[in-house]
Amino acid sequence: MKKMKKGVPFMLFASTFALTGMLGAPQEGKAADGQTTVEQGVSGEAGGSVDLTVQPGTQPGNEIHQPFMIGFPDGKFHPTAPITRAEAAAVAVRVKKLAYDKELDKPYTDVATTHWGHHYITSVTKAGYMQGYPDGSFRPNQPITRAEMTVLVLQVRGIEPLSAPEGFSDTVNHWASQFIGTAKQLGLVNGVGDNQFLPDDQTDRQAAAKLLGLAFLRGPLADGEVRVKQHFPDVPRDSWSFGWVEEAAVEAHESLRTVVEESLVKYRPELTEMQ
């Protein structure tokens, strides 16, 4: 069995400007539940138009954002720890608000109904966002690779890969080359030096928070009318990932987006929805 290399953080652009610059102007509408649907047209071949449902805030332009990641029982976030496949499945379910489907009661040989991630894994499998391995396993405790995480984020975001995007020197013949190249073209990921991506290395939790934030036009959360709380002792305010982790975790908040960041208006704990 191939050993998993030590995780290398995704080198991601610090702002969503690179992504929004390749998207069409947002067109707003109303979803059935009263939330605002933002339709972003992706330029070129990358997926046509992609819908984002936004929960409006108390003032025009404000948005309510729900958390999609949680910490550990010790009160920490463990930002440099690898995110596992089960944890990634849980994140996808929270972001997409997927309902548990009992039709796939036990889809994998190594995911018992008593496993904490059973419902999440069942739901993402039904939705087609994640799959298992030829031996019938899902390997829930295995770190998700950088390639797998990139594919998952694009699929959850609803973005189809370009046919022949320019990728990295070590992804040319990789199974996920089109997805990685597409993510690169959209400004979601960058290399780690020497035009390499290290697709089979593991993804750490803080990098996953940033990648998802960029893909869904969220974060980094910054001080606004209210100062951003430090919820985790191991993610201090001077950490590069602080705004991304705080955007992704703990409690719902109302914010106002600028080009490069999200300005916190107020926390909305009474609206927090965490599956």
Domain residues of the chain, as ranges?
A: 17-83+143-271
**Contact predicate 261/15, CB 8 Å:** yes
**Residue pLDDT, tens place only, 57-109:** 878 889 999 999 999 999 999 999 999 999 999 999 999 988 887 776 678 99
Q: H-type helices in the chain, by residue range?
A: 17-20, 85-96, 118-127, 146-157, 177-185, 205-215, 242-248
The band of 54, judged by pLDDT with boundaries at 50, 70 and 90, is: low
> Is the confidence at residue 158, as pLDDT, over 50?
yes
Round to whole Å and give the CA distance between 182 and 177. Answer: 8
> Is the confidence at residue 200, as pLDDT, over 70?
yes
Rg (the chain; Cα; Å): 18
246-267 mean pLDDT = 92
Check residue 275 and give its pLDDT: 64
Percent of the chain with pLDDT over 90: 63
Check residue 102 and give its pLDDT: 73
Check residue 39 and give its pLDDT: 38
